[in-house]
Chain A
């Protein structure tokens, strides 16, 4: 991917963090709102977890050859 896209993505991320700290500091309807940048952390860790969990499940449990049910 071109460098410019990464820079754009970085800028948007920065913008969301700025918005979060400028406007949402006192937001506390859920416990996780107390954690700064929670959704960024959650998004990243969640993604990693999902990919590894899916790889594990597919390799160890569910994957079979295409003609598995034919035999």
Chain B
């Protein structure tokens, strides 16, 4: 049994996190890589239908269950841990390394979990370990954002757990299965719990708040695990819930709007995650085989593209020390390779031919169109314009071009960062050129062919005209030193009131009760210190208690002796 447990990729990574502190620092980065590689190999080896069971109390747990859906997500998550590890190879921070391993373990565990109980355990593991990757930046902003992030995920995990408990008591089943579209309390709780991690609007602000403040290397893991495992759970449990279509469309528009607004390169990318999640979630809402394939394919391509975008922007941040567009510009001579790698990722995510999203995004979008949701489809195409505008044009233009040259010194970028980026860039292009390499892994068989004249015409016309529009109006998108408020304004502005209501008032009540008890004690000691003052109202009230003591002692002793004597007499 114990040996069998090692067949679970998640357990393997937890083991790695436990062993890593024992490894000498020099070897640690290399050893770090062994575990995700082993997990990846394990994920690749498991055949569909492989399960591993255990038991807790009266419940049978399915610790590992492999099918075509969990396989594709498991593989890409393990792969993300591998390239994230390569990118972070130069890092000498044990805390971050262990947290990253645990985090990957959580994500893999969620994907392979065969029952709800196993799922929630890994779900919480993800929440806790990922917080460290935000705190590890060690700035005040990161500390506060990490705390808000944790509060959000504790809330989300709590909702999910409550939903699961309710579901189990009602149905007696721990199985992870697709739920009927019924808005029962347990379903709503689970839906919202997953929705926190899937960054539904308006419970998305943890993402836009914390990710830009996390560490350069940590954000690669953050981007790949939490939201994508939530997408997996949505595909698993809520396929065809049509409310998801509109949730997805709103997310897509909202995210891309902020990506156009924001002036910090990491914020742009973070908001753009929400937008991309919107595509996946809308496709899950449609729920046809093509749509679910599209959602899974988009999740895979998004992990690759968005990680590469974050890696390139992380390299810029590493080299220059800033991610504000206001300070950047003209880096083309100093960081030319980073620009090249960035462009691969940005063309990939914008869905240009020969790159990844060209073979994945149309799958989801056309599936939505096939099912008759023309408006949703058109809105998502509109969002594609924003993707190219914000991530494909604005960000690189104001980072690498625009100003004449970035005049400050730049820090040399570690070579392993380039290797990590190059690795992902190659994969992005391979999938773009030969889509069957990805399609073979998708949950359902597909004969979808993205290389049609129609899709080529569509994306090229959009891209070219967007470029012309951008060129005309680019002065409006220049970097400024501002922040963009988001819906978390409501929570953050409400926090003093909430503090007053839940902490100060409770504190006040306890303080008051304590004071009452103390005062009672003070009063009673005062009153009972000298009983003679009220036993003998005619005596001298100013007398010291000691004056009465001998007399009192005699009386008391007499009573006691009598009592003893009578009780002896009675019992004997």
Contact = CB atoms under 8 A, between A and B. Distances in A.
Using C-beta atoms within 8 Å of the partner chain, give the interface range for chain B. 35 or more
Given A13-B464, A44-B469, A47-B466, A62 B389 contact: no
Chain B residues touching A, majority SS: helix
A27 to B, nearest CB: 6
A31 B476 contact: no
A43 B453 contact: no
Contact of B483 (A19, A40, A55, A65): A65
A47 B456 contact: no
B453 A24 contact: yes
B381 interface: yes
Given A30-B377, A39-B457, A62-B261, A47 B470 contact: yes
Nearest to B382: A46
Contacts, number: 131
Nearest to A32: B378
Nearest to B381: A42
Contact of A16 (B374, B456, B471, B492): B456
Nearest to A18: B457
Nearest to A69: B492
Contacts of A55: 476-477
A34 interface: no
A66 B477 CA distance: 18
A64 B485 contact: yes
A62 B471 CA distance: 25
A53 B389 CA distance: 13
A41 to B, nearest CB: 8
Contacts of B256: 50
Contact of A13 (B369, B381, B459, B461): B461
A55 B447 CA distance: 42
A40 B461 contact: yes
B469 A27 contact: no
Given A30-B369, A31-B374, 12 more contacts: A13-B465, A16-B461, A20-B457, A27-B454, A39-B457, A47-B385, A47-B389, A50-B385, A50-B389, A51-B469, A51-B477, A66-B481
22 contacts: A13-B464, A13-B465, A15-B460, A16-B456, A17-B461, A30-B374, A30-B377, A37-B461, A39-B461, A41-B465, A42-B385, A43-B385, A44-B465, A44-B469, A46-B386, A48-B472, A48-B473, A51-B476, A63-B483, A64-B482, A65-B483, A66-B483
Interface of B: 256-257, 260-261, 369, 374, 377-378, 381-382, 385-386, 389, 453-454, 456-473, 476-477, 480-486, 492
